[in-house]
């Protein structure tokens, strides 16, 4: 894992603080560096632009913290993610409101694809689903969860982690009910 510099953490903290008051699209490198007492050259030593810093914040705070323990289970990942989101509600809502959907997807996809894969692991193993089909299911559900996550954030994050876990469990149960008649030689047919 990359050694995290205190300077990069200062820059990240400064951006998060500013995003609590100002939309991301109106914040400049100069604003970030002035806010934390650094200079522009220092910023560009650590990041190529504001988008890279924003992406790094999500990678560092969300992806690293939640996925650092490999065997925490998908339910605990939901709990940690919802708690992170609610703790950083203003920052996250500002991100969603300020960026194009494609950029938000870029930030969320790495985490959600890993998470969806862990949710589907035992269901796919039960039916000996080939890796290419599992990858297709993972991609489909990751993008579905990205859309759901964006809507959840836009609505003010009303549902709690128990509600979300319950809905994900319903999807898992539906996948587990794939009739044996849809399997051929223990492989899912590709239509």
Beta bridge partners of 184: 187
Distance CA 161, CA 189 (A): 34
pTM of the full structure: 0.80
Question: Is-contact 174 123, C-beta < 8 A?
Answer: no
pLDDT digits (tens, 9 = 90+) for 2-52: 467 899 999 999 999 999 999 999 999 999 999 999 999 999 999 999 999
Distance CA 24, CA 137 (A): 33
- Residue 93 pLDDT > 90: yes
- Residue 185 pLDDT > 70: no
b (16+ CB within 10 A) / e for 76-115: ebbbbbbebbeebeebbbbbbebbeeeebbebbebbbbbb
**To which H or E segment does residue 179 belong?**
none
Hey, where are the domains in the chain? 1-68, 70-191
Residue 20 has which token pair?
Answer: 């609590």
Per-residue confidence band for 191, with pLDDT thresholds at 50, 70 and 90 = very low
- Residue 131 pLDDT > 70: yes
Distance CA 88, CA 188 (A): 41
Helix/strand/coil percentages in the chain, nearest 5: 75, 0, 25
Classify domain 1-68 at the CATH class level.
mainly alpha
């Amino acid at each position: 894992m990359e050694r995290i510099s205190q300077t990069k953490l200062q820059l990240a903290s400064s951006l998060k603080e500013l995003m609590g008051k100002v939309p991301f699209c109106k914040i400049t490198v100069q604003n970030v560096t002035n806010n934390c007492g650094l200079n522009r050259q220092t910023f560009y030593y650590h990041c190529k632009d504001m988008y890279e810093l924003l992406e790094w914040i999500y990678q560092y705070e969300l992806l690293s913290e939640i996925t650092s323990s490999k065997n925490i289970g998908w339910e605990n990942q939901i709990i940690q993610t919802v708690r992170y989101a609610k703790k950083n509600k203003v920052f996250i809502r500002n991100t969603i409101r300020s960026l194009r959907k494609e950029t938000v997807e870029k930030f969320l996809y790495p985490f959600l694809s890993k998470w969806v894969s862990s949710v589907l692991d035992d269901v796919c193993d039960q039916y000996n689903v080939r890796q290419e089909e599992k990858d297709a299911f993972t991609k489909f559900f990751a993008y579905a969860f990205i859309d759901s996550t964006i809507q959840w954030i836009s609505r003010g994050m009303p549902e709690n982690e128990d509600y979300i876990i319950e809905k994900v469990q319903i999807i898992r149960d539906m996948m587990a009910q794939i009739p044996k008649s849809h399997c051929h030689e223990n492989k899912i047919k590709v239509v």
